[in-house]
Amino acid sequence: MLSQYEQVNDLLERYPVLEKCGQEIEKAYVILCHAFENGKKVLTAGNGGSAADAEHIVGELMKGFANPRMISEDMHRKLMITDPERGINLCEKLQGALPAMALTGHIALSTAYLNDVDGSLIFAQQLLGYGNPGDVFWALTTSGNSENILNAAVVAKAKGLKTIALTGKDGGLIRNIADVSIIVPEEETYKIQELHLPIYHTLCLMMENHFWNREGEIKCRQ
């Protein structure tokens, strides 16, 4: 198993175009580790293809990604005490999770807010309600100028969340708000998104390797 920083080197070897992003990827790793180690969560958001990427990130964090993830001994014990029969199946099949939620899939809330108030504030409203100090807002915006993402980033900062931005071009306005901006060196939307995927895959793999070993045993308490 590669170490976390070896994972970054592996990414840069496979995608040399991302060489200038290496330091920011490592900074994002530190922010994510600190949040999960302290019982915090990640909230993701994006538009269009970036909305799909936001959901993808959650999928990699909330279940096993490249390796199995055992649940904690304490949870194993509690499940067996709660229901010895169902507990066997639960303990066998549940996987360790890093708490993450995409803000893109809450259709009733989003459409109600769009209809009743202001569509550009949908993500901001959700961060106001879901976000807590120490959480992380993982924002995806290829231009760095998506109004609904910028509004959400302002709320995140005001509430004491850290913001990681995945963007492109010159980084846009989000780079002035985010704690870390990973700016891929492309101009066209689809090319930017093509480079976002290996970056967030690497970060999710780094998280998994930080908290679990290859056999799925817990290395670090979250």
pLDDT digits (tens, 9 = 90+) for 53-62: 999 999 999 9
Mean model confidence pLDDT for the chain: 95
What is the residue extent of each domain of the chain?
4-62+98-211, 70-96
The yes-or-no verdict on residue 222 having pLDDT over 60 is no
Task: Look at residue 5 in the predicted model and tell me its pLDDT.
Answer: 78
| Residue 214 near residue 67, CB atoms below 8 Å | yes
Residue owning tokens 């959901």: 55
3-state SS, residue 51: helix
Work out the average pLDDT over 106-114: 95
3-state SS, residue 94: coil
Work out the average pLDDT over 70-79: 95
Closest CA to 146 of 157, 154, 158: 154
**Domain 4-62+98-211 CATH class label:** alpha beta
Task: Look at residue 116 in the predicted model and tell me its pLDDT.
Answer: 96
Task: Look at residue 149 in the predicted model and tell me its pLDDT.
Answer: 98
Q: At what angle do helices 189-211 and 4-14 cross, to 10 degrees?
A: 160
Q: What percentage of the chain carries pLDDT values higher than 70?
A: 98
User: Each residue of 125-152: pLDDT tens digit?
Assistant: 999 999 999 999 999 999 999 999 999 9
User: 217: pLDDT confidence band, cut at 50, 70 and 90?
Assistant: confident
Work out the average pLDDT over 65-82: 94
How far, in Å, are 54, 114, 179, 214 from residue 153 at the CA level?
15, 18, 10, 35
Task: Look at residue 213 in the predicted model and tell me its pLDDT.
Answer: 87
The CA distance from 118 to 102, in Å, is 20
